[in-house]
Amino acid sequence: MGMQGDFLQLLKEQGYTLGAPTAVGAGHALTNATTILAFKYRDGVLVAGDRRATAGNMVMYDRTDKVLEIDRHSVMAIAGVPATAYEMVRILEHSFKYYRRTQLQELSFDGKLRAVSKLLKDNVPAALAGTGAVVPVFAGYDMEQGSAKIYFYDILGAEFEGVEYAVSGSGSPTIRGILHYLNTWGEQPLSALPEEQAMVQALRLLTSAAEFDSATGGVNREASLYPVIKLVTGAGVQTVPDATLKPLYESQVVRYV
């Protein structure tokens, strides 16, 4: 994701301003969703996102779902303007469903990647205007190759495969460094983690991002608010319930904080 920062810097040097509290209507800043991550674990891909949406320095909502299921084998995690991202997901969901019903087969994994890229390219004017930038992470199970995969994009629609992991959003610099450390020098690579340990790492990563990034929402035990975590495997997309995350957080995250 290092190229993402360079790309945004290039746009700024050309006079574009992205991600700033742009005045809209009566001077309100755009709502933005923040930190998302995905990494491969033993059984597939884990995709997670915090729940906070911000507008400038204001917390607009703390129950945002940033990991959205497109079909039974693919999800898109969103960072950027939720309104634009949600509309993209609705279009993708209907497009995949239409293809499945008319062709009597699933759209290929490569076809899904192209569909995401095209929507981002079509959104370039809004992204460059600072009113609709979305930098998503797409994860899905490739039925032809029998493996789960991760792809991330820039705002122009260029796609890059996250061989082991991908991150996006305001808290991503913190957790990208941690992911590199864990994957390189941890007791075992991320792709070898069992399901429960993968969920623990996701909770720890988002807790770390919330510690250093005010736009990333942490766990709120009093309100029973936990990150959204989805698992993508050959069996399909599974949403991890809060009832599963709560004991993991209390036994393997909060006691270390």
Question: What is the share, in percent, of the chain residues with pLDDT greater than 90?
Answer: 76
- CA–CA dist 45, 47 (Å, integer): 6
- CA–CA dist 22, 90 (Å, integer): 25
Mean pLDDT of 174-182: 96
> 2-7+31-256 has which CATH code?
3.60.20.10
Residue 54 a catalytic site member? no
- What is the pTM (predicted TM-score) of this model? 0.88
Residue-range domain boundaries for the chain: 2-7+31-256
- CA–CA dist 235, 120 (Å, integer): 28
Amino acid symbol at 173: P
Sign of CA dihedral 11, 170, 214, 74: positive
Q: Per-residue pLDDT tens for 99-111?
A: 999 999 999 999 9
Sign of CA dihedral 48, 53, 59, 63: negative
Tokens 């061989």 map to which residue? 163
> Which own/partner contact pairs does 242-250 have at CB distance under 8 Å and 24+ positions apart?
244/199, 245/199, 245/203, 246/221, 248/196, 248/199, 248/200, 248/203, 249/203, 249/219, 249/221, 250/221
27: which 2 tokens? 């001077």
Three-state SS at 153? strand
Q: Per-residue pLDDT tens for 14-72?
A: 554 544 443 333 344 566 768 999 999 999 999 999 999 988 888 889 999 999 999 99
Sign of CA dihedral 63, 64, 66, 67: positive
Quick one: pLDDT at residue 9? 57
Question: What is the share, in percent, of the chain residues with pLDDT greater than 70?
Answer: 87
CA distances for 135 relative to 50, 120, 148, 211, 213, angstroms: 15, 9, 20, 22, 18
Q: Of residues 34, 35, 64, 174, which has the active-site annotation?
A: 34
